[in-house]
Structure 1
Amino acid sequence: MPWNATLDLRYQRRHETTTVAHRHLGPLRIFHSHYPQGPGLCHNVLIHPPGGLVGGDRLDIRIHAEADCHALLTTPGATRFYRSPGPVATQSVSIQLEPGAKLEWLPMETLAYPGCNAINSLRAELAPDAQLLAWEVTALGLPVSGQPFDTGCLQQRIEIVDCWLDQGRLDALDKRLLDSPLGLAGLRCLGTLVLASGSPWPLQAREALLQAVRETPAQSPAAPHSGATFPHDRVLVLRALGPLVEPVMQTLKAAWRSVRTSAWGAQVAEPRIWQT
């Protein structure tokens, strides 16, 4: 029987403190809130006790941040899409940010097991001056365990409403995409980091952000391929491509620290769960 779970999170600003109210249905929860950088920034860890999704499972995560809130969400481990001979497994994340709100959506990696049939999507709607800093790291197959991504399909979609849409179909039978130098070049882990704003950045600010992000691969040279661009005056995108999760994740973490400092002037306190 498939698992269907929903989680609704609503962040609120109360007397200089960001708090969260939540409702859930099924096996989807958050841990208690933490405030390692003071009351204005609420850290939460999202947990899915079953540990992965099989055919027919659906996870719906809806996040709403009221004006001037700041929240960071991560996960304790990978999201796993297991083998499915038929029905699709789906994870859907919907984000709505009111004016001045900031959200950091920083889940651990997504693992597409051989034979999976899955959809992974994120959609964000940002009010003026709201900002979203998010990433997605995807690994195809389990190369360390000798399980290549030789069957299966993963569809991915990231949308910033009204300004940017990135979607693709990663099919194990599409060798031109997976192995061509114009595609994944035989590598099986890809990462995308997005900094999006509800209001355009001035040209000078965009150039400064882009320079800061482009310097991060030099600090984390393990990822063999990476590049950053501003496809829209409200969206900064960094992509990284590597053989395994670790070098790609290191590159995105370095970029996250750099962007956080450059865009927000904020100190960096990594979620404690990353150290376990």
Structure 2
Amino acid sequence: MGWHGHLHLHYTRTGARTSALDRHHGPLRVLQRLYPEGEAICHHVLVHPPGGVVGGDVLSLQAELDAGSHAVITTPGATRFYRSDGLLAEQTVQASLAAGARLEWLPMETIAYRGCQVHNSLHFDLAPGAQMLGWDVLALGLPAAGAAFDAGRYRQHITLPGVWQERGLFDGSDGLLLHSPLGLAGHTVSASLWLAEGIGPGQTLDRARTEALVDAARALIDGSDLATTAGVSAPHPSLLVLRALGHRVEPVMALLQAVRGAWRQLHWGLAAHPPRVWRT
């Protein structure tokens, strides 16, 4: 049957403070609320005590952010999807942001082990005026340990309704995708970072602000180890997306953290303030 874990988070704004209530069932929960930036921003560390996900496991996270609330959600380490005997492992994240709410969805990398069978779904509903920063980092196999991702399937959905809908399938037997210059070109780490804002009818993001955010990201890309395998674009008036490919997680994560910090400063007037758990 596998492990079934469900976590519901509800963030509210009372005065100057973002408060959070959580309900959990099974092996999925958050550590205590942290306020390293002051009461307005609630930091949460999402933990999965078993340490890995196998076929038959189902993990579900639901987050509600009321108007004016601001939450930062991360993890203490990688999420690991292990080899399956045929059963599907599922992870679903659904977040709903009211007007004026902000969410930073910043988990550490996901590792897809050889032979895994995975469906990972991320769904974010942003009301007009809501904002989010998010990223997703996928590492295929453990090539340094001689365990290439040459078998298994990892299916991914990322959805911001009306703005961005992405469907991806990484199949260990798909040599064209994994090794072709038009695919991953032998890279085993694939990442996306996005900045999104809920836009109502007739609204658009300020063009000058968008160009400044894109220019800041491009400068950081040019100065990184991923200058030839990363890029940023604005595919929608309310969305910026950075893509990166790498052979190791560390340079990819370093670039994402740097761009997240720059965008936070430029768009929200907030210091980077990386969660402390990233340094442990």
Give TM class, smaller chain. over 0.9
Output the amino acid matched with 1:74. T
Unmatched 5+ stretches in structure 2: none
1:224: how far off?
A: 4.5
Measured in 2, the distance between the counterparts of 1:77 and 1:169 equals: 24
Q: Does 1:255 align with 2:276?
A: no
Quickly say closer, same or farther: Cα 1:75–1:223, change in 2 above 3 A. farther
CA contact (8 A) 2:262 2:272 kept: no
> What does residue range 15-164 of structure 1 map to in structure 2 within 5 Å?
15-164=15-164
Task: Return the letter of the residue paired with 2:104.
Answer: E
The superposition leaves residues 205-233 of structure 1 with CA deviations (integer Å, 9 ceiling, x where unpaired) of 21111111111113422565100001100
Matched, 1:216 2:186: no
Structure 1 moving runs of 4+ over 6 Å: none
Q: Which sections of structure 1, spanning at least 5 residues, go unmatched?
A: none
Structure 2 match to 1:182? 182
Opposite residue 198 of structure 2, the aligned amino acid is G
SS in 1 for 2:96: strand
Percent of counterpart pairs with the same letter?
Answer: 48
Q: Distance in 2 between matches of 1:125 and 1:33?
A: 23
Superposition deviation, residue 9 in structure 1: 0.2
- Aligned to 1:35, what secondary structure does the other structure show? coil
Task: Give a deviation string over 1:224-270, Cα, whole Å, max 9, x none.
Answer: 51000011001100001000111111111111111111111111211
1:189-268 pair list within 5 angstroms: 189-199=189-199, 200-222=204-226, 224-268=228-272
Aligned to 1:171: 171
- Report if the CA contact (8 A) 1:5-1:59 is conserved: yes
Deviates more, 1:107-116 or 1:214-223: 214-223
Contact 1:28–1:48 (Cα < 8 Å) also in 2 = yes
TM-score normalised to structure 2 length: 0.96
More deviation, 246-255/92-101 = 246-255
| Paired amino acid for 1:116 | C
Which 10-residue stretch deviates more, 105-114 or 159-168? Answer: 159-168
Task: Work out the CA distance in 1 between the residues paired with 2:117 and 2:149.
Answer: 12
AA at the equivalent of 1:177: L
3-state SS in 2 of match to 1:254: helix
The residue type equivalent to 1:180 in the other structure is: S
Query: Helix, strand or coil: the match of 1:215?
Result: helix
Q: How many residues align?
A: 276
Q: Secondary structure at the match of 1:147?
A: coil
Matches of 1:191 and 1:47 in 2, distance apart? 21
1:226 maps to a residue whose letter is: A
Contact 2:226-2:245 at 8 Å conserved across structures = no
Rounded Cα–Cα distance in structure 1 between residues aligned with 2:257 and 2:224? 9
Q: TM-score scaled to structure 1, two decimals?
A: 0.98
